[in-house]
Amino acid sequence: MPEASVVRRMFEGVAPRYDFLNHVLSLGIDRSWRRAVVHALELERDQRVLDLCCGTGDLALEMAQQARPFACDFTWNMLTRARDKSRARGIPIRVAAADALSLPFPNGVFDAATVAFGVRNLADMPAGLREIHRVLVPGGKLAILEFSHPEGWLRKPYRFYLKTLLPRLGDLLSRRGEAYRYLAESIMGFPDPDTLVHLMRDSGFDNPSYQRLTGGIVAIHRATT
């Protein structure tokens, strides 16, 4: 796992084309994945939701239709784009620079929390999960959207895509091939869903579970405090 400063620089560099590449490299399916997260949370009107590792704010903007999202990331270029998208669409979200391992919030202030494609990048995943648990109210909800490991016939072609095609496409479309090599390596080295469920339980969460989407390419992990 690269140091946090290295990961931050990579994301600062890809921020200008981050949305475009997300949509192209996922064939546009990333939008439905985020909608599935919002549906899984079953948010109530005006609930306070912490969206960690928010990137350019797509998930926070999706949740803003029914809740009050607070979007955090440790990459300022990403947050700037999240803020600009919020203003352009007239959808209010609050943004703040924050490290998921040391959140600047008191205990028990959020009704729910989300992390979309960010848990992989935490230098200390158990510490990050414990920090999320700390800022949630009793009975609060957590939903993690993360890449996973497909099963069956899709497993081999997906690994070929990650190892061979993804870095080349990333370099061709963004001139940031190193960031997409890191992406591929971090996905292949990420724990399987059952392991993440155990980590969530060990970090204090109750009733952790997961749901595979798109043949297991991604999974939504859910738990409560």
Q: What is the pLDDT of residue 28?
A: 86
Which pLDDT value is given to residue 67? 94
- In our burial notation (b when 16+ CB lie closer than 10 A, e otherwise), range 17-41 reads ebbebbeebeeeebeebbebbbebb
Bridge partners for 94 per DSSP: 70
**CB neighbours (10 Å) of residue 156?**
10
Predicted local distance difference test score (pLDDT) of residue 165: 84
The answer to whether the CB of 114 falls within 8 A of the CB of 63 is: yes
User: Which parts of the chain register pLDDT below 50?
Assistant: none
Q: What is the pLDDT of residue 197?
A: 96
HSE-CB for 2 with a 13 A CA cutoff: 16
Q: For 43-59, how does the pLDDT look when each residue is reduced to its tens digit (9 = 90+)? A: 988 999 999 999 999 99
Number of H helices, E strands in the chain: 10, 7
Look at residue 6 in the predicted model and tell me its pLDDT.
63
Q: What is the pLDDT of residue 36?
A: 96
pLDDT of residue 115: 97
Count CB neighbours of 50 within 10 A.
27
Annotated domain spans of the chain: 4-224
* CATH class, 4-224 region: alpha beta
Quick one: pLDDT at residue 116? 95
pLDDT given at position 1: 55
Q: Which pLDDT score is estimated for 117?
A: 93
Residue in the block written with tokens 């960010």: 118
* Tokens standing for residue 21: 């590449």
What is the structure's pLDDT at 42?
92
